[in-house]
Structure 1
Amino acid sequence: MNAAPADQIRLLDVQALDLRLSQLAHKRRSLPEHAEIEALNADLAQLRDLLVAARTEESDTAREQTKAEQDVDQVRQRAARDQQRLDSGAVTSPKDLENLQHEITSLAKRQSDLEDVVLEVMERRESAQERAGELTGRVESVEGKVADATSRRDAAQREIDDEAATVTKEREVTAAAVPADLLALYEKLRVQQGGVGAARLYQRRCEGCRQELAITELNEVRAAAPDTVVRCENCRRILVRTPESGL
């Protein structure tokens, strides 16, 4: 393949722009905010699970407290009725009186036990409420951190995208001036060679594979016409000659 030396050198400009685009893409993928947001979201998910559990416990204990208080009221009302019967004198049989007094005593014990249950449930409910309140604050704090990190990430991405758009336009203009067959070969090699399809020959060294040319290969490059597109024997990339090639 033949191409004017100026077109071959222009290919190095295309390569430099492609490398810059690759660097920008890597920078975009590697923004520290990505890892920060991922870690924060993991913490947030865990905190939200704990908050759901705390709110569920709060709701459960609220129902449990209501039920326990209703049980206390029922026992209290029954004890009040029995006491009213006892005080009214309507019960005259000694045995019935004894049974009634025994029931009143039992109901008092039952009421005391149920009131203890109410207090225990209230304590658990208050603990769940405090836990839910604490977790709500922590969730809101981490949500704020996620929002801040997301804002910083988005700003960084916009800056990178703006530069990438500028480089892409410059690349389009530069590539349009390169002969189609030379550009096609470059694109093919760039895919095969990890993003570098053309490299400068500098001081007898290929800047693509960083290998110094053997004397026989160097002689072949020296003997090649200026418009001959030469390739590196080591990496097979297009080897572009410049005044600094050391030929």
Structure 2
Amino acid sequence: MKAEPAVQRRLLDLAQVDAELSRVAHRRRTLPEINEITEAEKQVRAKQDALTTVETTLGDLNREVKRQETEIDQVRAREDRDRKLLQGGTVGAKQLTDLEHELATLERRQAALEDDLLELMERREAVEADVQHARVELDKAQEALSDAARRRDSALADLESTEAKRTAERAVVVKQFPEPLLALYDRVRKHKGIGAALLQSRRCGACRIELDRSAFAHVKEAAADEVVQCEECGAIMVRTAESGL
């Protein structure tokens, strides 16, 4: 394939644009914020699970406290009824003995229930503190996730802006090349990553491998308008005064 040396040199401009587009694509795939978001999402789920666990425990304790308070109220009501019967003076001797025994039992029962209630309330207070701590931790995790997402979106916006500019620039640049040369360039770039590079000091600018004596002799003997490719990577080697020919 043949192409004017000036046209071949302009391939370097195209390669530079494509290199930046490749960097944009690579940067988009490897944004550190992507991993940050993945880890932050794991933390949010873990903190949410932790909060759900302590909230469930708190709910259980609240129900237990309510049940205990209800039972204490029932014991107190039974005690008040028995005392009123005693004070009324209308019961017989046997019933009086039974009431006194029941009151003593109710007093012990109430004391035990109140001790249990106090322990439950102390446990509830501790769990309430755990709930508050878990909510704070969840808020922190959610904020970290939001921050990472904001930074990712900002980085992506910058990349999209750069990509749009370079894509528009490429659309203008490619019009300078004959179709066969452009097709060769694009084919090599698709398979090897770099379509064209400067041959500098006997070294291919794409793969950075120095040409051996035979390959260098072949390039040196080629006509100026001959399109030559690297034997190692296939990239079009653009020859200039820096090529060492």
Relative to the length of structure 2, the TM-score reads: 0.92
Amino acid at match of 2:147: D
- 1:2-41 residue pairs with structure 2 within 5 A? 2-41=2-41
The alignment partner of 2:241 has SS state of: coil
Structure 1 residue 142: Cα displacement: 3.0
1:192 paired to 2:191: yes
Structure 1 match to 2:208: 210
Structure 2 match to 1:60: 60
Structure 2 match to 1:122: 121
Structure 1 residue 123: Cα displacement: 1.6
- 1:62-141 residue pairs with structure 2 within 5 A? 62-94=62-94, 96-141=95-140
1:229 aligned residue (227, 230, 235): 227
Amino acid at match of 1:144: E
User: Once structures 1 and 2 are overlaid, which stretch shifts more, 27-36 or 1-10?
Assistant: 27-36
The alignment partner of 2:206 has SS state of: coil
The alignment partner of 1:230 has SS state of: coil
Structure 1 residue 154: Cα displacement: 2.0
- 2: CA distance between counterparts of 1:142 and 1:205? 52
Contact 2:47/2:141 (<8 A) preserved: no
The alignment partner of 2:237 has SS state of: strand
- 1: CA distance between counterparts of 2:138 and 2:231? 60
Structure 1 residue 109: Cα displacement: 1.0
Structure 2 match to 1:153: 152
- 2: CA distance between counterparts of 1:214 and 1:32? 41
The alignment partner of 2:12 has SS state of: helix
Structure 1 residue 101: Cα displacement: 1.5
Structure 1 residue 237: Cα displacement: 2.0
The alignment partner of 1:233 has SS state of: coil
User: Once structures 1 and 2 are overlaid, which stretch shifts more, 6-15 or 104-113?
Assistant: 6-15
- 2: CA distance between counterparts of 1:136 and 1:211? 59
Structure 1 residue 133: Cα displacement: 1.4
Amino acid at match of 2:119: E
Per-residue CA deviations over 1:104-133 (Å, capped at 9, x if unaligned) read 111111111111222122122222221111
- 2: CA distance between counterparts of 1:21 and 1:180? 21
Structure 2 match to 1:175: 174
Per-residue CA deviations over 1:146-199 (Å, capped at 9, x if unaligned) read 333322332222222212211111111111211111111121111221x11222
- 2: CA distance between counterparts of 1:147 and 1:218? 56
Which ranges of structure 2 fall in alignment gaps of 5 or more residues? none
- 2: CA distance between counterparts of 1:150 and 1:111? 57
The alignment partner of 1:208 has SS state of: coil
Which ranges of structure 1 fall in alignment gaps of 5 or more residues? none
Structure 1 match to 2:51: 51
**RMSD over equivalenced CA pairs, Å:** 1.8
The structure 1 segments of at least 4 consecutive aligned residues displaced by more than 4 Å after TM superposition are: none
- 2: CA distance between counterparts of 1:148 and 1:234? 46
Structure 2 match to 1:163: 162
- 2: CA distance between counterparts of 1:30 and 1:163? 16
- Give percent identity, aligned residues only: 42
Per-residue CA deviations over 1:31-78 (Å, capped at 9, x if unaligned) read 333333333332222111111112222222111111111111111111
